[in-house]
A = this chain, B = another copy of it.
Amino acid sequence: MTMLEQKHLALLDEVQRRKQPEAGSIQLCFELLGLASAIDRDCAARLAPYRLSEGKFVLLFLLHDQAGGLSPHELAERAGVTRATITGLLDGLERDGFLARHDDREDRRKVVVRLTAKGLSTAGELFREHTQWIGSLFAGLDAEERQVLSQLLRRVWQNTDAAANAAAADTTVGRPS
């Protein structure tokens, strides 16, 4: 069994047929992407019975220890998505009874989002399940192997645009590395 995705097979075939020197890198890249997709799919499948998506789960988690609630704005910042996206996720979560929106009495532009009892218990339950599941994915690797994997991933990440942009920001604000 291959861990590659269907869409990548044709690409890889062609690269290998042409005997291009990048073939090894490309297969490796597709293995990495395929594994990440498989993990995302598993995650979605685990959350689906609760009528939750990964994005919604993150909101539940962000709210689980905030007795005073959070505003959509804060949720957007901490989840790393736009406020517009938060609006849509909150709509679904409110519809399904996981949380409620309340008016902020001090600043009438604001909304305060708080979990319901259902939301709170679901968040706790899922948090435990979720961490155990992820732990089980990497259960086969010992501490040293995990360290090696982390280092290799980090070195690849250095070549992405995200890293390049971070480095550029670094040189303009602080010192060049």
Q: Write the residues of chain A forming the contact surface with B, with a CB cutoff of 8 angstroms.
A: 1, 3, 5-7, 10-11, 14-15, 20-22, 24-29, 31-42, 45, 55, 58, 61-62, 65, 77-81, 127, 131-132, 134-141, 143, 145-146, 148-150, 152-163, 166-167, 170
Contact = CB atoms under 8 A, between A and B. Distances in A.
Contacts of A41: 161-162
Nearest to A177: B1
A140 B27 CA distance: 15
Contact of A32 (B39, B58, B131, B155): B39
Interface of A is mostly: helix
A7 B42 contact: no
A26 B131 contact: yes
A149 B35 contact: no
Copies in the complex: 2
A25 B134 CA distance: 7
A1 B137 contact: no
Given A38-B160, A141-B152, 15 more contacts: A3-B162, A10-B62, A22-B135, A24-B138, A25-B141, A26-B131, A26-B135, A27-B150, A29-B134, A32-B153, A36-B37, A38-B163, A139-B159, A149-B149, A152-B152
Contact of A138 (B6, B28, B65, B148): B28
A151 to B, nearest CB: 9
